[in-house]
Structure 1
């Protein structure tokens, strides 16, 4: 790790911190990656994700690799997180997060080195649903790719593999609703897990960290893989929610109210490439989206890769395939 980045900047890439505002007036912090000595108008990508991560982690790694391959790439922190603006901190909104992608396109389209007609989006993990939603609503985005896609609205409101019963869903809604009274009375915002587990009695039992400070013996494989990235030198960052803390407790309410990926039929004619690990617990999200729009959504399954491998394992991330996809569709 150098200067709080979890990866080495390529010697043929320049990185510049930049700032711009979304249409809600929130200042977005980003890093602009440009090939050294680049000239002319370049194909360009806005990059963000995972949910609860920061631009110095996998988003920056992807942007760095794309710039090495000749793209202009912008890795940004979504509103309320990392170095971006927005108060309260560490709250998420499917609407505002979707807007952040379009705001990134606003910014990129004003740069002399960017070809406005060749702008795409790359999202990782939990920002993928918002990236697909943004692309369906913003025709300036000509192509979108995702890696280890999570649909955060579906995850929060329905549980893993839609495992919440109707009764459990209502219990989560009741918990979130009561929490709003508590926050209003206290004049502050409590913290709690964005994906709400249940206790032995069948009641919501939110936890106070995304990941434990230390990995317990016998931890399940999913927790272990996330821990290995966010809580170790491999991917730890002091501003990452996933590395250190947890979201505001009422964050899931907006994701119950506003499902992402619901307008996938509006994506065409813009193409999408979804990349998922063969062993990823999240693989079904990509498969289900591809099934909804098979004519313009391509699915690539990476052998011997789990969900987190596609954050930073460059020997498993299919960058050649991603490059081929964007070269063709940002022509």
Structure 2
């Protein structure tokens, strides 16, 4: 795993609280997670922004494959790393997770008690999204169509000895057929793009957030990536995080808001749900006037005492 380390400028000789920071699903540490890591380091934390296995500058073959199990383990590996630093108090380590890696953060915290607090921004449950569709909209017939497509694609890949790429959240067209593609986002914004697609495009495909190593900016996941997510219920043991605190942050206008609200209902105390007025999902990637860094600072400084 590759990561970038950020430290308070005037750290002196004391041991500091630390945060492991993850990027959105398909992003890299040079994008929003680096911004969070930099800003939280300015506020008194040693922070580590990492690329998940098989992506960005991290190692692993096949490239650009996502594994919910391995990505969950990546958090514990990042804890291993930051907790060995002499300037870090290993009893005061938390996780700051963004978007699609948030589900893995909560899953990791449910089995790794070294994680003393978890905050998420624009939380997404990738297992639920891939296996059930947006707001659980897949019918049972559609779910079977997706797994049939993934299963047959494995034959194609096995026969060729190489992998195909595809859409990790498989949509259906108006006639009920699967929609395929070889890029997460196109080169140009379609004229009929909806507001959610437009928000993602305006971050990942423009100078605002583009990075050549980002899957969302320039590539796609392996086509069979969703298969393992059908078998991995994220945060199934979320009550095990308690008595360690959880802070869930979502934009009031975010299409993903329901994920944070549902996790809040499922989690045990102590827990907080913070809804940011006027913010959509992507605003919480990089809009400094909308990301509630003051609340994040207060949360982690209280939790990591």
Aligned length: 304
CA distance in 2, matches of 1:277, 1:85: 33
CA distance in 2, matches of 1:270, 1:110: 22
Task: Provide the TM-score with structure 1 as the length reference.
Answer: 0.91
Deviations 1:75-120, CA, capped at 9 Å, x for gaps: 0000000000000000000000000000000011110000010000
> 1:31 and 2:4 equivalent?
yes
Give how far 1:204 is off: 1.9
Task: Provide the TM-score with structure 2 as the length reference.
Answer: 0.98
Q: Structure 2 matches for 1:294-305, cutoff 5 A?
A: 294-305=268-279
Match of 1:55? 29
CA distance in 1, matches of 2:201, 2:216: 9
Match of 1:213? 187
Q: Structure 2 matches for 1:298-317, cutoff 5 A?
A: 298-317=272-291
CA distance in 1, matches of 2:42, 2:269: 31
Deviations 1:197-237, CA, capped at 9 Å, x for gaps: 11343222222111111001131000100011000010000
Q: Structure 2 matches for 1:165-176, cutoff 5 A?
A: 165-176=139-150
RMSD across aligned positions (CA): 0.8
Q: Structure 2 matches for 1:157-306, cutoff 5 A?
A: 157-306=131-280
Give how far 1:294 is off: 5.0
Instruction: Report if the CA contact (8 A) 2:243-2:269 is conserved.
Output: no
Match of 1:8? none
Q: Secondary structure of 2:295's partner?
A: helix
Instruction: Report if the CA contact (8 A) 2:167-2:184 is conserved.
Output: yes
Match of 2:113? 139
> 1:115 and 2:89 equivalent?
yes
> 1:77 and 2:51 equivalent?
yes
Q: Which runs of 5+ in 1 are unaligned?
A: 1-27
